[in-house]
């Protein structure tokens, strides 16, 4: 069987390129509350990646942490594991660590 990427005969390792790609992607672990509430704060994100700290700063600058829902979202963001957040180029979805 030939690899569809490099056209080599390697039936045993037919996914050898995918393993290399997967190793470059850092996994995320998003808090459930964060997942439920991000839609209310997605307007703070653009196609330019923001670090987690930059995103938290934007939330803090635009909303009062004295508001209970904002406070919960802020802390659920802290508990979530991701390095960057951004909008996809077509602005239809949020991307993490890309």
For the segment 29-52, what is each residue's pLDDT rounded down to a tens digit?
999 999 999 999 999 999 999 999
Write out the DSSP string of 65-88: TTSHHHHHHHHHHHHSB-SEEEE-
pTM: 0.73
Domain boundaries, the chain: 28-96
For the segment 75-89, what is each residue's pLDDT rounded down to a tens digit?
999 999 999 999 999
Write out the DSSP string of 17-41: HHHHHHHTSPP-B--HHHHHHGGGT
Q: How far apart are CA 46 and CA 86, in angstroms?
A: 6
pLDDT at residue 26, rounded to an integer: 74
For the segment 5-18, what is each residue's pLDDT rounded down to a tens digit?
566 665 555 454 44
How many residues in the chain? 98
CA distances from 63 to 40, 66, 80 (A): 11, 9, 19
Higher pLDDT, 61 or 22: 61
């Amino acid at each position: 069987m030939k690899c569809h990427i490099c056209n080599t005969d390697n039936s045993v390792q037919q996914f050898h390129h995918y393993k290399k790609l997967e190793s470059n992607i850092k996994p995320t672990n998003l808090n459930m509350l964060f997942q439920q509430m991000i839609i209310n704060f997605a307007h703070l994100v653009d196609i330019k990646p923001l670090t987690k700290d930059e995103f938290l700063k934007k939330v803090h600058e635009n909303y009062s942490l004295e508001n209970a829902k904002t406070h919960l979202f802020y802390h659920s963001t802290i508990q979530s594991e991701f390095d960057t957040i951004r909008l996809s180029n077509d602005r239809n979805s949020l991307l993490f660590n890309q």
